[in-house]
Each structure stands twice: as C-alpha cells, then as structure tokens.
Amino acid sequence: MGLLSKKDQKLILDPLADDNPITIQVLGICSALAITAQLKASIVMSISVLFVLGVGNVVISLMRNIIPSKIRIIVQLIVVATLVIIVDQVLKAYAYELSKELSVFVGLIITNCIIMGRFEAFALGNGPWRSFLDGIGNALGYGVILIIVGFFRELLGSGTLLGFKVLGDPIEKTGLYAIGYENNGFMLLSPMALIVVGLIIWVQRSRNKALIEEH
C-alpha cells in the first residue's frame, strides 16, 4: 500500500483485530446481533455502516471547528440521521425484501454507538483524510465480526450460505444430510448471536493475551 503511510495503514488495520469496535471497544453491538441470522443481511448491514461511518466521519471532521461543543451531540445525530435516511431510501428502492427484513435496524444505525463513538473519539480531533480512513477501518472491523457471526449462524442454522445450499439438500437427503447431519435450528434464534460473539471474544483473547481483562 504505497498510497498510505505507516500511520495511515495502522488506522485501517488496527480496528480489524486488536482494536476491534465490537469485541474490544464494545461499540455497536445493538444492531450487530439482531440481524446476523442470515449472511446476506450481515453483509448489507456492514456496507450500510461502512458508507455512513466513512462519509459521516469526513463531514464531522470538516465541521469540527465550527460545531459549538455544547450542542455537538445534536449536530452529530442530525448528520448521521441524514446519511441513514439516504441508506434507507436506497435499500427500499433497490432491495425492498431485504429492507423489510432489516426493519427498524437500518434506522438504528443512527444510534449505533460505533458511529457516535468514532465521531467523538476521532473525527472531532483529526483532519478529513485521516478521519475517513479511521471510519473505513472501524466499519470494516465491525463488518468482519458481523460476517463471521452471520456465516456461522447461517451455515449451522439453515445449512446455506447466501441462500445456496452448501451442505446439500435437507429434504432430498443429499450431501452431509445423507449421513444423518441435521440443521441446528437453535442457531437461528437470537440468543445464539450473543453466545457466538462471546466465543469469538474468547478465541481472540486467547490468541492475544494482552487483551485479557481483570474482571
């Protein structure tokens, strides 16, 4: 990546693993869990957040010197709400079924803590280019977790990926089903999202001991 300096690269790569917004910073969990029963919904949600966070960070960073600090939360909310309305309208126009499935969770990107958190922690104190990279990096970190959770829940829960029957057909008993494999319907229920994220945290912290908390 000759385009980016070492420091800029760090902005994008850090949130992917060691400073992940979901598993380390504990931001943006609300929407992350509710929509991960299907891989497709997770991907669309990640792309929406990528757009909102990337553009929002730039806008806030450009305005950072003219926003009075007392009303900055309202200003930030209005910026996010505008971007989310754009996402929502685009989804309604081009992917109506999916937007029905995501229901209120598109709207809840507004109060996704990840977005306010990055505005507060980064965009208010840095220039537009660095803020943009930070936004993209954090949105990618968010997306990675969403996609991992969505992948396992869809694969184990309904035996499909993006709607394709990768494990064979449960009705005609082909593929894995021929030797007695059954779908674990439990994975589709919402509590499993929490447990899968808990397990991801477990794996991540076992690999990197520095992240372990003291209760």
Partner 1 sequence: MEHLELFFKSIFIDNMVFATFLGMCSYLAVSKKVSTAVGLGAAVIFVLAVTVPLNWLLDQYILRDGALAWLGPEYADYDLSFLSFILFIATIATMVQLVEIVVEKFSPSLYNSLGIFLPLIAVNCAILGGSLFMQSRDIQSLGLAFNYGVSSGIGWFLAILAIAAIREKIRYSNVPAPLRGLGITFIITGLMAIGFMSFGGMLTGGDEEEETTPVAEVAPVEMIKEVSDELVSTTNEKEE
Told to check if 121 binds partner 1 by CB under 8 A, we report: no
From residue 64 to residue 83, the character string flagging contacts with partner 1 as x (rule: CB under 8 A) and all else as - is ---------xx--xx--xx-
- DSSP of 161-199: BTTB-TT--TTTT-GGGGGT----GGGGSTHHHHHHHHH
Half-sphere exposure of 112 (CA within 13 A, CB side): 33
Q: Are 64 and 125 in contact (CB under 8 A)?
A: yes
Residue 97's alpha-carbon distances to 66, 84, 191, in angstroms, are 41, 18, 24
Q: Residue 140 or residue 196: which is nearer to partner 1 going by CB?
A: 196
> What does DSSP assign to residue 71?
G
Can you tell me which of 1, 20, 116, 128 binds partner 1, judged by CB under 8 A? 116
From residue 85 to residue 114, the character string flagging contacts with partner 1 as x (rule: CB under 8 A) and all else as - is x--xx-------------xx--xx-xxxx-
Q: Residue 37 or residue 133: which is nearer to partner 1 going by CB?
A: 37
**Site residues (CB under 8 A) for partner 1?**
23, 26-31, 33-34, 37, 73-74, 77-78, 81-82, 84-85, 88-89, 103-104, 107-108, 110-113, 116, 157-158, 170-171, 185, 188-195, 197-199, 201-206, 209, 212-215
